[in-house]
Amino acid sequence: MTTPTNPQEYVLRDKLIQQLATIYQGIELEQSYEDIAQSLLDIMELSSTSEIQKPYTNHWSEKDIILITYGDSIIKDEQPPLQTLKTFLDATIADTINSVHILPFFPYSSDDGFAVIDYSSVNESLGTWQDIEDISRDYHLMSDLVINHCSSRSAWFDNFVKGEGQGSDYFFTALPDADLSEVVRPRTSPLLKEVETGNGKKFVWCTFSHDQVDFDFRNPEVLKAFTSIIKQYLDAGVKIFRLDAIAFLWKVPGTTSINLPQTHEAVRLLRTLIESAEEHAIIITETNIPNTQNLTYFGNANEAHGIYNFSLPPLLLNTLLTGSCLYLKRWLMCMPPSQDGTMYFNFLASHDGIGLRPAEGLLDDSEINTLVRTVENFGGKISWRTSDAGEQKAYEMNISLYDAMQGTVEGKDEWNFERFICAHAIMFALEGIPGVYIHSLLGTQNDYQKLANTHHNRSINRHRWDEDELATALADNSLHHAKVLNTLKSLLNIRINQPAFHPNATQFTLHLGLQLFGFWRQSRDRKQSIFCVSNITNQPLQLPLAELNLIITESWIELISNTVISELTEEITLEPYQTVWIANNVALK
């Protein structure tokens, strides 16, 4: 193997060999690292002498917004839902949002898509690969790579049970008497599933459920299989890969089996393959774990391009329900700026609940307990996990975000809409790329009927809109849906025209007390500054502009109201949950 003088001159094959050696160190393999690397290159149709993509390159800007949706979040009689979704995207958000994350659109057996039966097919109930490609031509398409596990009804697992064919050696097994006491997982079900196979009784590792059987990446054939899947998705137009539950990828009995070094190296290898095949393709890791662990998936700008900013939803919800930004402010001040070539993926709601593990160490137990009780009072449900000490602890809160904002810890009030918009105004302005769940964009409320039908807590925030029903709701001025949609779009249309809102633009936290939450953004060329301040209480508050140090020789505009700031030493009144974006060098759409 050649040794380059400059790391950026590594030929691709050499880098893959090094990464494979790190992943499979100590494991006896039937193939050499060189042969495995060549197989990966062949699958991806890459040259072994290709140059490595340069790190620290940003493939994004302030114009990037990602809509998160299921393929069938909106349905219409006698039309494939993916076509209905495309119609909605084109008619409603194309002028504002340029990217879409379609949650797993493959055949599945449970977990609303995350127990994949066949990675190579589009679920017939949603549409076809042509429908996926139609969307990918007009929007940056983000797809899940459900890489930790698949459905127990998949052909691969059928072959495992039979003991022959592709998949027969793809799944991780352990003996019941193995030391599994340290294993960290988000579920309370038994970890091992007993299965009678053609090769005798086996105990299959199931991190999430017994219908979601975990892969064994100690077998390089599993890596090859997923490389083929990645190539197919790239060919279909996927540009953003969401690595689902990636933290659990590598398992070793006697350890926590989460965030292991081999998992991190596997992310680096996947990045190498993906960005070598498509220069502008990126990966985002979905790691619903404590904040300090989550940050490690940036590596040194050589692992994930983006990480889900999982601590933001519970901390921002806590801020708005308590009227104090103490914990949110502490967290933001400690967060490292993302290096060039990396970014935070910010979100407030998704198809899952509001996770509480990412709040561990940031909110104390009493704060979390108060948050849980408040969400329950607003009609939410709580999902639980078993702690290391064997205790039942709240794992996530299941509720639509609009309903989570019905009031404060004191109870419901009349500020639901304003509080909800305030949360998004804060998120849209933060360092990173915003992800907006379709049910937040539409102000969807708790779906108790779906919850009753499925008996799964997460169903409460996975409503399926009939297209005609949605059109009626958006046209009814007595309902909040159109007001939510139009207000969020207005904020986003401002955002995408401000260079200070670039995902990697400078950010500093402001010190304005605990009832005003603020931060400062500065564009990368230092020509534009934006001061973002929100009243996070249900009472009017005064903002002394002198506290912001607005430069007197500049012209300042409050972007949201499009109001000129003429007196830089005056106080302005912020109504309950009002946000201001005070900027110079303004570009309004």
Instruction: Give the catalytic positions in this structure.
Output: 244
Determine whether 389 is exposed, middle or buried from the number of CB atoms within 10 Å of its CB (0-12, 13-18, 19+): exposed
Amino acid at 182: E
Separation between Cα atoms, residue 210 and residue 192, nearest integer Å: 8
Give bridge partners of residue 173 from the DSSP assignment.
204
Separation between Cα atoms, residue 142 and residue 130, nearest integer Å: 16
231 DSSP assignment = H
Q: Do strands 306-308 and 282-285 pair parallel, antiparallel, or not at all (unpaired)?
A: parallel
Up-side HSE of residue 501: CA atoms within 13 Å toward CB? Answer: 31
Structure tokens belonging to residue 561: 């109201």
Separation between Cα atoms, residue 356 and residue 383, nearest integer Å: 10
Determine the 3-state secondary structure of 453 from DSSP.
helix
- DSSP string of 76-103, one letter each residue: BTTB-HHHHHHHHIIIIITTT--EEEE-
Give the CA distances from residue 448 to residues 54, 72, 333, 355, in Å, rounded to whole numbers and listed in that order: 49, 18, 38, 20
Of 585, 523, 525, nearest to 559 (Cα)?
A: 585
Up-side HSE of residue 460: CA atoms within 13 Å toward CB? Answer: 26
- Yes or no: say if 132 and 144 are a contact pair by the CB < 8 Å rule: no
Amino acid at 96: T
In sequence order, the 6+-apart residues with CB closer than 8 A to the CB of 90 are 138
Share in percent of the chain as helix, strand, coil (round to 5):
35, 20, 45
- Yes or no: say if 321 and 378 are a contact pair by the CB < 8 Å rule: no
Separation between Cα atoms, residue 42 and residue 346, nearest integer Å: 36
Separation between Cα atoms, residue 209 and residue 572, nearest integer Å: 53
- Yes or no: say if 217 and 250 are a contact pair by the CB < 8 Å rule: yes
- Yes or no: say if 378 and 403 are a contact pair by the CB < 8 Å rule: yes
In sequence order, the 6+-apart residues with CB closer than 8 A to the CB of 502 are 61, 62, 523, 524
Separation between Cα atoms, residue 142 and residue 266, nearest integer Å: 20
Determine whether 54 is exposed, middle or buried from the number of CB atoms within 10 Å of its CB (0-12, 13-18, 19+): exposed
